[in-house]
Amino acid sequence: MSKEYAQDYSLQELLVAASAKEIMDGDVVFAGVGVPTLGAMVAKLTHAPNVIMAMESGSIGPQPYRVILGIGDNACVENSICTTSLWRLFSDQQRGYFDVGMIGGAQVDKYGNLNSTVIFGEGDYYTPASRLPGSGGANDIASSAGRTILTLPLQKRRFLEKVDYITSPGYIDGYDAREKHGLPGGGPAAIITNKCVFRFDPTTKEAYLYSVHPGVTVEEVKAEVSWELKIADDVKVTEPPTLEEVRITRILDAGQIYTGSGLKGLTFEKYVQMLETSQEILHQLF
Amino acid sequence: MSKEYAQDYSLQELLVAASAKEIMDGDVVFAGVGVPTLGAMVAKLTHAPNVIMAMESGSIGPQPYRVILGIGDNACVENSICTTSLWRLFSDQQRGYFDVGMIGGAQVDKYGNLNSTVIFGEGDYYTPASRLPGSGGANDIASSAGRTILTLPLQKRRFLEKVDYITSPGYIDGYDAREKHGLPGGGPAAIITNKCVFRFDPTTKEAYLYSVHPGVTVEEVKAEVSWELKIADDVKVTEPPTLEEVRITRILDAGQIYTGSGLKGLTFEKYVQMLETSQEILHQLF
Amino acid sequence: MININPNDKKKPDKRMTLTDAIKTYVPDGSMISFSGMGGAQCVAPTYEIIRQGIKKLTFVGDSPCESGDMLIGAGAIKKAEIAWCSYAVAGLGYNYRRAIEQKIPHEIELVEYSNYTIGLRFLAGAINVPYIPTKSLMGSDLLKYNEKIKVEEDPYNGEKVALIPAVNPDIAIVHVSRADKRGNAQMFGFSSNAENLARAAKHTIVTCEEIVSTEEIQRHPNLTIIPEYAVDAVVEVPFASHPWNFPYAYAYDMPFHTEQLAAFKTREGFEKWLEDYCFAPGSWEGYLEKVGYGRLEKLRQLERRFTKAKY
Amino acid sequence: MININPNDKKKPDKRMTLTDAIKTYVPDGSMISFSGMGGAQCVAPTYEIIRQGIKKLTFVGDSPCESGDMLIGAGAIKKAEIAWCSYAVAGLGYNYRRAIEQKIPHEIELVEYSNYTIGLRFLAGAINVPYIPTKSLMGSDLLKYNEKIKVEEDPYNGEKVALIPAVNPDIAIVHVSRADKRGNAQMFGFSSNAENLARAAKHTIVTCEEIVSTEEIQRHPNLTIIPEYAVDAVVEVPFASHPWNFPYAYAYDMPFHTEQLAAFKTREGFEKWLEDYCFAPGSWEGYLEKVGYGRLEKLRQLERRFTKAKY
């Protein structure tokens, strides 16, 4: 299959495609809602037909004919191969059955440690400048998934030498720290941002710049990272989305809930229509 | 409801009725196959309509139209309210949901400790005179059921000062030993034998003779017990089975699998017929 | 603290109204937990608890939405032992943030876990053991701020494990697809932590979309996730998860939720919402009336296009 | 010891013959476990293992009947970690007794647990933790003769608990109602320890009464007790539990079992049984042929009078 790249795509569509490319055929993917789920679905509908999505609520392997609106949305149950309980799903992850986990956060450091709990600001954990939702399942994914893909926007206030609070461990303080702490999962494989992709040094486990998105310069990236960033000898340009990936993304998220401004001004009638239509169109994809 | 006692009944039928009488309405009963299951069914069909039987395989609350031929027989699934897994069922018992457990064994001592593992004879655990099946779920029932009912034949070689091996703890060495060992269940409430019923002193937790079956003397019982048996001040005569209890027992075990010699010479044809007939007859009971 | 008839679990008919069930089993100061994850949330019980003005609850849960954020906003919660509090796609946990950042309406005590380790707390509580070990949380700061989690070397292989303490809430509220009047509860689709919540708690209210006969339960015993012996009360509450979805029953009402969350952004907006949707309607039936049964029916029809329980 | 393709769990089609599955996944010296409790036993795989002359197995299980007693009698087992070994109503575990009492056919090493604590070993193995605490076994002599169980005071409340070590067998054999070719396994009725066995083991063979399409699995996802990612091989084996019952499928063949157990009373009787029912028929199909398909069909019809899966 020769790859035809898209010329016309949004940044969100590139992120979906980049996430999809991290997934291999046969992977079990612990997918959060939004770009990760879209990425997993795009992977399943292109190069990885045997992907199994695991949803936190306890649904395994859904094949919905509509966009997934939450980790416990009914879409997660639709045509799934197993619906079970939360503790069982996470236990399966701890047992090593989940190949990829996709998580985001507000801050990340050079060892891929993520913070989605609190921004201290002038305060501390107990009197924070900003309270975030917390770990949810992110810590467990970071602990036990075979590998993790981190996604967050590239901004200097987010890419820090040291995060305020480690919600989800990456490589902690580098080298074999994960093994020392007894973490069963493999740790972060990549950080995907709106400007570039980072990967990790196999020995030191420090993040380095692996590729820049089309049109982005290395200097632009360095300017948004708080630590002395290491750069790959041969920095690549991030592979753009293929025509097929963009086409499928637009079908999956026809209402632009995740890839546009679909949430704004969404009336009940438009919403019902969006779902009803998606069912018809998605039947063509499966 | 005035009680009409049966005149014509077998010893097995008396044991079934005596077991049934230990069960209160609303009890959840962990029932082994044979006399215990029959007793629980008789209780459910007479004074305790809200009894729930829990079967070791993971079936809860069966209402079969046939005799139950094993803890994992399909009869345990028939009209049950929940079929689940073994570990869940036993966990529910450890949580305290099971009011009564019924267990047997080869040896018992004065504190109600049961042995169903090995008879040492001249040997020991590793080279026993006689190897028995082992604990199965008996230890877990003895540990966690609200109360236990022990059933075994009254014989001097079985009623010992000290059993060779404690498979299922009763009151261990008496008094508050169960609490000291952290056992959550209440311990033995009674030992039902072919000749009498023993109960336990509330303080010392030693077994004493509570009642003798019709026609049995206290001396006969003492002769079959290896320790200096304590006798209730007012030894009763065991309540005989009622007409209704005997009638129902005979319907439930029409093939005399448990209450007679039904297993002998059971051809395939007779067996199929026994089950088919039981379905018709039992429909009258429920 | 709670003085409830211990024999309630033995009743052959446990049906109650939502109002009575909450009044009976949720006194001030209770430790409480709810089922649901993403969808299938216990929204109706949350509104009822707010209406009854119950206070000083200790809340234990994985990732609460309404049950955590709204109860915090309503000033019902003293302490929260949770992994996450927000609303996913439709908006953030504004009440939760206000409580932590600005102590509005008042300060709350917070103890953090992850979703899995909250799940293990319920599992440990359900099987009546003091803790269960795990490999989650290692190397994270959750360990630093939660002194109840102990890290040990396991006595078998010397592996590092975190011990997660059991929890036995005073009361669990579990919303399921259907139940009989005795409390045998069945769920179509994912079941979050419902099966362990119900067993871990000292008392359990099962709310269900539909009460069915025991015969119907007996037809599909594999679907029973909670047997009657773990249940104190059964309440039929259709659409109890609105605006959330409920598997095989009704679709997510995202436009409604977006509007709700927009209101929650300010304290005034939240208070007005409570007045309009919780207090003024006076009951869950009143809430549904206000949402509109036509809209609810549309959500039910919408879901049927995609999934229909085939049991 | 086992050198099996670790990617087998990723195969989209895992169908194999019983002979090939045993040949591939059960080398001499494996640690092995089977599903079933009372009914739903793994009889067909037991016969196949005996036919292939596999030796030196370590057997871990709760209350095995054929899989424990017959494998011991056939000299296939070096060590047994179990709670019970017998046959319930139809007879006793004569091979087990002969092995312990008289070392016939040879000595076996025995480590004893209870049914619940064997269940907890599989649960611990399935969730990948080194042990799970329990309140069973306290005050009993099982603790005296099993040094792997450690009694501790729990670090939270000082309660006494027994730590039950996880087990991760090399191979689990699980017999279920139906599965698709990817390995999604569904069970009607009780499931013994199947769900945890399959996850605890390094490799898992799912045998099933019937292979169905993935679409059929998707119609009833609540019935899936083992998802495909935990499965290496799928084998369709109708009547695999005969003479035992299988829920919603066929009734217990008690007259057959009584005759079988009568034969097992003597070593000679057991050896003749193996010759007649295991070796001479050459395969499970041969065994069923010898039992008689008419008889098997009668057992199926008999069960349908009482129960029929309504899923």
d(CA B66, CA B281): 9
Per-residue pLDDT averaged across D179-183, rounded? 98
Contacts of A65 in chain C (CB under 8 A): 306
pLDDT of residue C308: 87
- D156: confidence class by pLDDT, cuts 50, 70, 90: very high
Question: Could you tell me if C21 lies within 8 Å of chain B, comparing CB atoms?
Answer: no
Cα nearest neighbour of D187 on chain C? C222
The answer to whether residue B4 sits within a structural domain is: no
CA dihedral in degrees (B241, B247, B248, B254; nearest 10)? 120
For A197-221, write each residue's pLDDT tens digit. 999 999 999 999 999 999 999 999 9
State yes or no: is B56 an active-site residue. yes
Tell the burial category of B276 from Cβ atoms under 10 Å away from its Cβ (0-12, 13-18, 19+). middle
- Which residues contact residue C3 at a Cβ distance below 8 angstroms, ignoring those fewer than 6 apart? none
Max intra-chain CA distance, chain B: 55
What is the tens place of the pLDDT at every residue in B138-169? Answer: 999 999 999 999 999 999 999 999 999 999 99
pLDDT mean across residues, chain B: 96
**Domain limits, chain C:** 8-113+168-306, 116-165
Q: Which residues of A touch C188 (CB under 8 A)?
A: 83
- Cβ neighbors of C275 (< 8 A, separation 6 or more) are none
Which residues of chain C does B83 touch, with a Cβ-Cβ cutoff of 8 Å? 221-222, 224
Any chain C CB within 8 A of the CB of A86? yes
CB-based contact D184 A81, cutoff 8 Å: yes
CATH of the domain at B145: 3.40.1080.10
Q: Taking residues B63-77, what's their average pLDDT?
A: 96
In a domain, A6, yes or no: no
pLDDT digits (tens, 9 = 90+) for C36-61: 999 999 999 999 999 999 999 999 99
pLDDT at C2: 53
In chain B, the number of structural domains is 1
Catalytic residues of A: 56
CATH number, domain D116-165, options 3.40.1360, 3.30.70, 3.30.30, 2.60.40: 3.30.30
Q: Which residues pair with A149 in a beta bridge?
A: A102, A190
Mean pLDDT, range C63-91, rounded to an integer: 96
> Is D255 an 8 Å CB contact of chain C?
no
Q: How far apart are CA B275 and CA A52, in angstroms?
A: 45
> From the list A87, A134, A184, which residue is nearest C120 (CB)?
A87
Give Dmax (Cα) for chain C.
61
CA dihedral D10, D13, D16, D20 (to 10 degrees): -40
C-beta atoms of D89 and B279 within 8 A: no
pLDDT tens-digit profile of D45-93? Answer: 999 999 999 999 999 999 999 999 999 999 999 999 999 999 989 999 9
For the four alpha carbons of A6, A9, A12 and A13, in that order, the dihedral sign comes to negative
Residues of D in contact with C132 (CB under 8 A): 129, 132-133
B2 is a domain residue: no
Distance separating alpha carbons of residues A262 and A271, to the nearest angstrom = 10
**Which pLDDT band, with edges at 50, 70 and 90, does D3 fall under?**
low
Residues of D in contact with B58 (CB under 8 A): 37, 190-192
What distance, in Å, lies between the first and last C-alpha atoms of chain C? Answer: 42
Confidence of residue A286 (pLDDT cuts 50, 70, 90): confident
Label residue B153 exposed, middle or buried (CB < 10 Å: 0-12, 13-18, 19+). Answer: middle
Interface probe, candidates C136, C152, C246, C305, chain A, greatest A C-beta count within 10 A:
C136
Going by C-alpha positions, the residue among A141, A227, A154 that lies closest to residue A187 is A141
Q: What is the CA radius of gyration of chain D?
A: 19
> Which residues are CB-contacts of D81 (< 8 A; sequence separation ≥ 6)?
D58, D59, D60, D61, D110, D111, D112, D113, D118, D167
Strands A196-200 and A207-212: antiparallel
Catalytic site residue from B4, B13, B22, B56: B56
Q: pLDDT tens digit string along C251-271?
A: 999 999 999 999 999 999 999
**Binding-face residues of D in 148-207 toward C, CB within 8 A:** 150, 152, 154-157, 159, 161, 163, 165-166, 187-189
Tokens of A228: 């002395």
Could you tell me which chains touch chain A, where touching means 3 or more CB pairs under 8 A?
C, D
Tell me whether chains B and A touch (3+ CB pairs under 8 A).
no
Stretch B52-59: mean pLDDT, rounded? 96
Assigned token pair, B208: 């004493």
Cβ within 8 Å, pair D190-B137 = no
Instruction: Answer whether A92 touches D (CB < 8 Å).
Output: yes
Pair A283, A46: CB distance under 8 Å: no
The secondary structure of residue A76, as a DSSP letter, is G
Q: Taking 70 as the threshold, does the pLDDT of residue A258 lie above it?
A: yes
What distances in angstroms separate CA C108 from CA A153, B216, C79, D31, one per listed residue? 31, 69, 5, 51
Superfamily of domain D8-113+168-306: Glutaconate Coenzyme A-transferase (3.40.1080.10)
Any chain D CB within 8 A of the CB of C219?
Answer: yes
For the cut 90, the answer to whether the pLDDT of residue B89 exceeds it is yes
What's residue B2's pLDDT?
61
ipTM value for the complex: 0.97
- D69 Cβ neighbours under 8 A, 6+ residues apart: D85, D86, D87, D93, D94, D95, D96, D264
pLDDT (tens digit per residue) in A26-49: 999 998 888 999 999 999 999 999
Residue A2 confidence class, pLDDT cut points 50, 70, 90: low
Nearest beta carbon to residue D130 from set C131, C161, C310? C161
Contacts of D270 (CB under 8 A, 6+ apart): D73, D94, D95, D263, D264
Name which residue leads in pLDDT, D1 or D221.
D221
Structural domain boundaries enclosing A160: 11-285
Residue A240 lies in a domain: yes
Identity of the residue numbered A229:
L
